[in-house]
Amino acid sequence: MFDADFLRRALIAAPAIFFSLTVHEFFHAYIAYRFGDSTAKDMGRLTLNPLAHLDFFGTIMMFLSGFRFGWAKPVPVNPYNLKNPRQADLWISAAGPLSNMGLAAIFGFLFRMAYGGFLPVPQPIVEFFLIGVIINVSLAFFNLIPLFPLDGSHILRSLLPPRFGPKLDEFERFAPFVLMLLIIVGGFWIILGPFIRIFVNLFAGVAIY
């Protein structure tokens, strides 16, 4: 597994992983701030400095999973500071995956330009652009899974009527264990793989998967 090719790809991917995870968490913090909660800002999380956001195990998982999923440190949010908490939680939670899809589009554009010969860059940079697409599409879909504590669980709670709150509270007690089980058995790739392939190929402009 840890052969020369893996190490080469890991070195190329590392900047894209750090940048993508950082942007994801930055936008959570930024939207929370715009909705009235300065908790993340006060804790130094409203920044593009990767050291403020990266989680050791979540970052390592990005490498070990072949850039399919990973995570950073969650951004702290105090719901009592938010204007219109339900709407705020929806947009704060969606901001991370949406930022990753935006980055995937940018990386995809750069890859198309480089792959088509319109942007003369070394081959490792072309690979960097492509890996950037894969990382960001994967992060977006992974975080949209409606299992606590992923963004998708907050989005689901915000969209459902309040009467479903107690049921969601009960399910969220077990959700982290379901999440860990899916990670261990590789269930995420089985579920998300087809969607990730479609969007990676769409952004890259060529059939990568």
Block mean pLDDT (10 aa), the chain, length 209? 76 90 96 97 95 86 71 91 95 98 98 93 95 94 92 95 90 87 81 92 85
Inter-residue contact 54 to 24 (CB < 8 Å): no
Q: Which residue has the tokens 């709407």?
A: 87
Q: Which of 25, 127, 170, 172 is catalytic?
A: 25
Distance CA 188, CA 195 (A): 11
| pLDDT score for 140 | 96
Please report whether residue 209 resides in a domain: no
| pLDDT score for 68 | 63
Both structure tokens of 31 = 């939207």
How many alpha carbons lie under 13 Å from residue 134 in its C-beta half-sphere? 23
| pLDDT score for 112 | 96
| pLDDT score for 75 | 94
Please report whether residue 81 resides in a domain: yes
The predicted-structure confidence for 78-130, as pLDDT tens digits, reads as follows: 999 999 999 999 999 999 999 999 999 999 999 999 999 899 999 999 999 99
Torsion sign (Cα): 9, 198, 94, 189: negative
- Residue 116, number of CB atoms within 10 A of its CB: 10
Taking the mean position of all CA atoms in its chain, how far away is CA 207? 22
**How many domains are there within the chain?**
1
Inter-residue contact 123 to 12 (CB < 8 Å): no
Domain housing 120: 4-204
Please report whether residue 35 resides in a domain: yes
Q: What pTM value is reported for the model?
A: 0.90
Inter-residue contact 137 to 192 (CB < 8 Å): no
Please report whether residue 138 resides in a domain: yes
* SS3 at position 181: helix
Tell me which residue of 87, 95, 15 sits closest to 54, measured CA to CA: 15
25 is catalytic: yes
CA angle 180, 182, 186 (to 5 degrees): 125
| pLDDT score for 77 | 96
Please report whether residue 194 resides in a domain: yes
